[in-house]
A and B are shown apart, each in its own frame.
Chain A
Amino acid sequence: MDYTMEDTQNSAPETLEATKLSGAGQRGDTQSVTKRLQAELMQLMISPSPGISAFPDADGNLLSWTATITGPTETPYEGLTLKLSFAFPNNYPYSPPTVLFKTPIYHPNVDFSGRICLDILKDKWSAVYNVQSVLLSLQSLLGEPNNASPLNAQAAELWDSDQAEFKKHVLARHRDLDDE
């Protein structure tokens, strides 16, 4: 009946209650991000688009995903499986996710560490975009690179000059990321 006991007794459920009920502060943000991402995932699952797929990583907080794009037909990437990583900021969808190619790729708008130059992932980002739309944009980027602002100048040049050579480079660079 002393007060210390009473305190512990009170505090234990209170934290629990807080996580369950309260929706304020930092936690609230994370929660809304989580909610949004969960909804996006659900959408991807219900209406999958051919050639793209994405799923959260196993760390359990949904803030990092792995995506897979199958190379579109009639592009140099046809039949290739390309993996990407998504890292969502805490204020997603008000900031764009950080998207990187994990699979080594030879592409005018992608550098050798997988960084992508795509306007909607930078200044043109809008909260209406989502994982699916980003993946679709990237898929089309494979077929229609934006050679005006290349990250890989050689690739941009080659794309314009010699498609066959370009494809050779693509295949040479490509390596399937095996399951670890």
Chain B
Amino acid sequence: MISSVPLNAGRRRVFGSVFSPASLQARPPFESSSELDQTQLASFQSTGSSSTVRTASLASPQQERSPDAPRDREIWEQAWSAATAFLAVPNQGFAPIYDARQTDGSEALKDWNRLSPPSKETADALSYLAATIQQGNTGYGVTAGSKSLIDWYGDEIRRHFLVNLRSGLHELLKTPGKESLLRTIVDCLQLARRIYLAPVVHYLLPLLQAQKQGRVLTQLQRGFHTVVSYSLPWSEISPLLGGELAQDALIILGIDTLLENTAEAEAEDEGGEDEMEVDRQYSVSYADWKNEDSETRAHLMTEGEHDQVTMARDRLLAFLNGLQQVGLGGDKAQKVFASVMNIMMTEFVRAAYTGQWETPSSVPQHLRHWIENVFARLAVQVLAIIHTPHAGGQPSSPLDVSFGDVEKWQEMGVARLGALRTSELFDVIVDWPASSGAVDDLRHFTTHPAARAHVTQSFITILNQRLLHPGASTVEILQLYISIIRAFHLLDPKGVLLDRIARPIRRYLRDRDDTIKVIVSGLLAEPGATSSKTPSYANETLVELSTELSKAHQLSMETNTSELDWDDMNWMPDPVDAAPDYRKSKSSDVIDSLVSLFDSKETFVKELQTLLSDRLLQKREHYDQEISVLELLKVRFGDSALQACEVMLRDISDSGRVDEVIRKDQGLLRPPTRLFNKRPPEPPVPDIHAKILSRFFWPEIQDQDFKIPDEITSLQRRYATGFEALKASRKLTWRNGLGQVLVELQLGDRAFSEEVTTWQATVIHAFHSDHDEGATRTVPNLAEQLEMTPTLVRSACLFWVSKRILTESSRDEFSVLEYLPSDDEDEFGIPGGDGGDADMQSGDASNAAAAAEAAAAAAAKEAAEAAAMEKMNLYWQFIVGMLTNQGAMPLQRIVMMLSIVVPGGFPFSNEELREFLAGMVSRGKLEIVSGGNYKLVH
């Protein structure tokens, strides 16, 4: 207490010099300051809690009034009451603040009486109290130790806020869907803050030491922040804040222009505004960036910011400033900001790069550039404002964002890009090779196993959804598979990813019946023949394959790398995420991948044989395409596998020579060399050429057997003799159903000459007559005469009807149209004759042609059925063997056994087999015993 004596004395002296005793005495201790006007006084007194505080604070001094300090006490009390009266916040409620939120606030401050300078006495009181604060204790000795003016004012702020503003703010918060609601709130709060702090700042703080000023202000501010965050639940603020941030960030980060641009690009044709030109200087669009040279690129995002962006940035930063001031900033706001930025990055990547698949791709560079210059810039600016107030309220170092952070963001950006590309991957591959840039982008992403697993996994899901279903044609799937092979080869040269992706596709393709057929016909297709059309999709062959075949061949010659090349200095181990049975394959080799789809080469070779035989039996001058394909395939499969095909090709080329020799030997040559002339009207000997096939090496050829005209038969006999003379111990079997015939018909009024099939020629030959009037034949007669199936006969007749050689006089009865009806002469002879009739006629002809085609198809089907029955006979042998050795069996068991033992599987359904067996039962070869078991009849 010794030290306090001089202080007390000093204080009294100071106090005395400032406060005139008279004036102090003139004022009753509990009187309000006379400067306060009547309303303020009223409101002041009506504030119950405030009065309580005051009386409470004064109650203790009254009790402990020590005899030596009544004077001080009184002075202090008077000063206190003057100061609190001055500082007390009028209870005006929320409405005035809300109304004044848009103004600069000075008006409101005046209204609230926050700016009017204190009267002399009040000022004295303030400085007296300030002095007590200054000294560290609270003024009048121990009496008011628990209470300082500042604490009181803090309470006052809290009280006022809770009483007047809180409910108003709550109501504001509840207002649904209000535009920039948070901004309003922040404005209000800022105004409130100014109202609260203005008198302190203006009149109290100057009285304090500089160092103390800060502390006092911080204390008051912290009190304000606490009550604000207490009154406004963060759960309601954060979505609002998120919305505000997102709204401006969209503009600042340039995402809105990107979205607009895409919309604009669509509307460009309708003379869209040249806004693009204005935007040019500052654009985050990838397309713009890409078109610039590297010099400009560097500046594109950093300079010449668009007005709108600047405005948005200023607005956002100002808003955040306010936010921080009213205590809604800090780490909570940072969290919201972070989540918004997170969304923004995804959004940007999506908006900027969707569908940007050009090669070479500089998307990753552009993205990194954007993150560094635009994204990070905003982050730095925002974080500088909504810093966490720690370490005595000092803002932490201005660089909250280190360069490491920016790098991390860039990595995240690339990962987002990867995710985007992964989701686009299917479309990318459909567009291949125009879209290789996208795969480049993806390569930046697939650097670690998890990312690679993600890519493959999601791609397989998409594949299953979009490709591997019955709706997709085999050609499409194969086409895409080829693209996938190429794309993934680029993505991952090691082929591990492809290996993983390819498995489901390959499994699926294996289940498709026509896969081999498509592949083989693709291989045999003429490259370039269909290249003018849209690539390969529309026409049902994969022309690409044949191109690929010749190309891949050259490649395989160049790169002959094997795992056993021990001098390979660039050898790399298999990637860690390779499957256990992963083999470093030449996965990029499309042909190999496709051919290896099947268990054995045999299936493939068999299909190749079938197709080859079809093509070789066509009448053509040369077969270069087939030969070259075969040679290329031999490189892959080895000679032995393709031996049969080889023989087939040789047969064809040999038969040319043999044909010549035989014809010379047998005197079949005729001076007028018209090839394939079987039935000329004048010279009785038609010309015959043959292709000699080695039956053993050719696939089974579907044949329709019938009796050919005698002239031809005799020719064939002579030809066969010649052949047997030439090649002893070999015999010719004629395949009458195959081949072409050049038919020349001499009719009453016209001649006809065309190349047709053998059976068509045979049928028309049967109509041959020397009489002038047209001969008439019926289908059953012809069928009997020619030993041909009626369907085939009818089909041939209809064909001739379509050529207007025959007419169907009544059902199944055809006669030769020796003379065309007169209106036909109009059609052919005099142009502009009876047009309608001619139309009708040609319509008839085309109808007949269609009918002929249908009939031919029916005939072919019949033949196929016959062939199937033929096969069924073989199965009958199996069934007999089965029932002999295993005893009676039910149908199910028979089908099961057949499917096991028959090579290539049993092609008939249960129903078909049941029917067949029923036939056998009725023929007495089988009987059905108890339990539906079939048993052989001995």
Give chain A's interface residues, CB within 8 Å of chain B. 1, 3, 5-6, 9-11, 13-14, 16-18, 20-21, 38, 41-42, 44-46, 48, 53-58, 60, 62, 65-68, 83, 178-180
Contacts and interface: CB of A to CB of B under 8 A. Distances in A.
Interface string B579-620: 111000000000000001001000000000000000000000
Nearest to A17: B503
B507 A13 contact: yes
Contacts of B596: 21
B349 interface: no
Contacts of A62: 900-901
B581 A1 contact: no
Nearest to A83: B885
14 contacts: A3-B449, A41-B878, A41-B901, A48-B877, A53-B884, A53-B885, A55-B884, A56-B897, A58-B893, A66-B886, A67-B885, A68-B884, A83-B885, A179-B933
Contact of B877 (A20, A45, A68): A45
A55 B599 contact: no
Interface residues of B, number: 36
Interface stretch (B298-306, B450-458, B907-915): B450-458
Contacts of B886: 55, 57-58, 66
B577 A65 contact: no
Given A6-B453, A6-B457, A10-B500, A42 B885 contact: no
A132 to B, nearest CB: 12
Interface in B403-459: 449-450, 453-454, 457
Nearest to B503: A13
Contacts of A83: 885
10 tightest A-B contacts by CB?
A179-B887, A66-B885, A13-B503, A55-B885, A45-B877, A55-B881, A53-B884, A6-B453, A10-B579, A55-B882
A105 B881 CA distance: 22
Contacts of B581: 14, 17-18
A66 to B, nearest CB: 4
Contacts of A60: 900
B903 A20 contact: no
Given A45-B881, A60-B900, A66-B885, A14 B453 contact: no
B885 A46 contact: no
A83 B885 CA distance: 7
B599 to A, nearest CB: 6
A10 B449 CA distance: 14
A54 B881 CA distance: 6
Nearest to B577: A6
Contacts of A46: 874, 877
Contact of A1 (B457, B500, B510, B901): B457
B579 A14 contact: yes
A41 B503 CA distance: 34
Contacts of A180: 887
A179 B935 contact: yes
Given A13-B504, A38-B903, A46-B874, A68 B888 contact: no
Contacts of B880: 53
Interface of B: 449-450, 453-454, 457, 500, 503-504, 506-507, 510, 577, 579-581, 596, 599, 874, 877-878, 880-882, 884-888, 893, 896-897, 900-901, 903, 933, 935
A20 B454 contact: no
A14 B580 contact: yes
B481 to A, nearest CB: 15
Contacts of A3: 449, 453
Contacts of B510: 20
Nearest to A39: B903
A160 B346 CA distance: 100
A55 B889 CA distance: 13
Nearest to B579: A10
Contacts of A1: 450, 453-454, 457
Nearest to B882: A55
A53 B599 contact: no
Contacts of B577: 6
A157 B214 CA distance: 132
Contacts of A58: 886, 893, 896-897
A36 B877 CA distance: 19
A9 B885 contact: no
Interface centre among B881, B888, B900, B933 (most CB of A within 10 A): B881
A38 B901 CA distance: 7
Nearest to B889: A58
Contact of A44 (B504, B579, B881, B900): B881
A138 to B, nearest CB: 14
Given A6-B449, A41-B878, A67-B885, 19 more contacts: A1-B453, A3-B453, A6-B453, A6-B457, A6-B577, A11-B580, A14-B503, A41-B901, A42-B903, A48-B881, A53-B881, A55-B878, A55-B884, A56-B897, A56-B901, A58-B896, A68-B885, A179-B888, A179-B935
A69 B903 CA distance: 25
A146 to B, nearest CB: 26
B883 to A, nearest CB: 8
B329 to A, nearest CB: 36
A176 to B, nearest CB: 11
A59 B504 CA distance: 31
A20 B882 contact: no
A56 B900 contact: yes
A45 B871 CA distance: 12
A24 to B, nearest CB: 11
A56 to B, nearest CB: 6
B145 to A, nearest CB: 64
Nearest to A37: B901
Contacts of A38: 901, 903
Contacts of B881: 41, 44-45, 48, 53-55
A54 B885 contact: yes
A21 B599 contact: yes
Contacts of B933: 179
Nearest to B875: A45
Nearest to A53: B884
A45 B878 contact: yes
A114 B182 CA distance: 100
Contacts of A13: 503-504, 507
Nearest to A20: B599
Nearest to A47: B877
A6 B897 CA distance: 38
A14 B502 CA distance: 11
A66 B889 CA distance: 14
A64 to B, nearest CB: 11
Contacts of B877: 45-46, 48
A16 B507 contact: yes
Nearest to A31: B599
A44 B877 CA distance: 9
B15 to A, nearest CB: 76
Contacts of B507: 13, 16-17
B512 to A, nearest CB: 15
A45 B874 contact: yes
A18 B507 CA distance: 12
Nearest to B460: A9
A83 B886 CA distance: 10
A62 B882 CA distance: 13
Nearest to A18: B581
Nearest to A22: B581
A15 B80 CA distance: 90
Nearest to A86: B885
A57 B893 CA distance: 11
B900 to A, nearest CB: 5
A65 B935 contact: no
A17 to B, nearest CB: 7
Contacts of B885: 53-55, 65-68, 83
A180 to B, nearest CB: 6
A61 to B, nearest CB: 9
Nearest to B598: A20
A53 B893 CA distance: 19
Nearest to B596: A21
Contacts of B900: 56, 60, 62
